[in-house]
Structure 1
Amino acid sequence: MNKGEFVEALADALGSSRAEAERALNAVLELIAERLEKGEKVVFTGFGSFEVTERGARTGRNPQTGATIQIPATKAPKFSPGAALKKRIAGK
């Protein structure tokens, strides 16, 4: 399911227009991104949580040449599913 299909399904579920559903989705995604950018954790109990993890600098290898390269430290978003979502996916 892509974003357009999700917006359509959201509009149907809310009984609203596609434009309203898209504005709502964009607002939610923007809020999550803003909070993660500030280093905050975003938790939806039962669904899961979004947080920023820090990856340390490390040595890697170029697969084409075999040369070693230095990979700098970076931050990355992470999603951890909640218990209720895990159970639902597992079919329990």
Structure 2
Amino acid sequence: MAENLTKAELVEAVAKAADITKSAAAAAIGCFLGTIAGHVGKGGKVTLVGFGTFSQKVRKARTGRNPQTGAAIKIGASKSMGFKASKAGAAKKAAPKKAAKKK
């Protein structure tokens, strides 16, 4: 399994790949993420073909339980950002290749 990638490591990788400074890469990544968050926060969807879709998830108000006392508590409705990976973007386990037969 792959190790987690921090934002600093992402900035460094983008800077290296695009041959730009780390500050320029950090600004670009910040703008990219801010744009996605702003659009999804207004109820929109952001679809990146071959990667996935960011959308807003809405949770209805519900009744829960306090784990310490067992008392019923009201949990308010909330909104959060969701992400669904595309089939092409999702990590797939490759099937083992069969050896080619020689004639």
Q: Which amino acid aligns with 2:92?
A: A
The counterpart of 2:8, out of the listed 1, 4, 23, is 4
The counterpart of 2:88, out of the listed 63, 84, 90, is 84
TM-score, normalised to structure 1, is: 0.93
Corresponding residue for 1:46? 50
Unaligned runs of 5+ in 1: none
Task: Output the CA distance in 2 between the equivalents of 1:28 and 1:41.
Answer: 14
Task: Output the CA distance in 1 between the equivalents of 2:68 and 2:17.
Answer: 49
Give the CA deviation at 1:91: 3.2
TM-score, normalised to structure 2, is: 0.83
Unaligned runs of 5+ in 2: 95-103
RMSD value, Cα:
0.9
- Sequence identity (%): 42
Runs of 4+ aligned structure 1 residues displaced above 4 Å come to none
Structure (1/2) with the larger helix percentage: 1
Task: Output the CA distance in 2 between the equivalents of 1:34 and 1:3.
Answer: 19
Task: Output the CA distance in 2 between the equivalents of 1:77 and 1:62.
Answer: 25
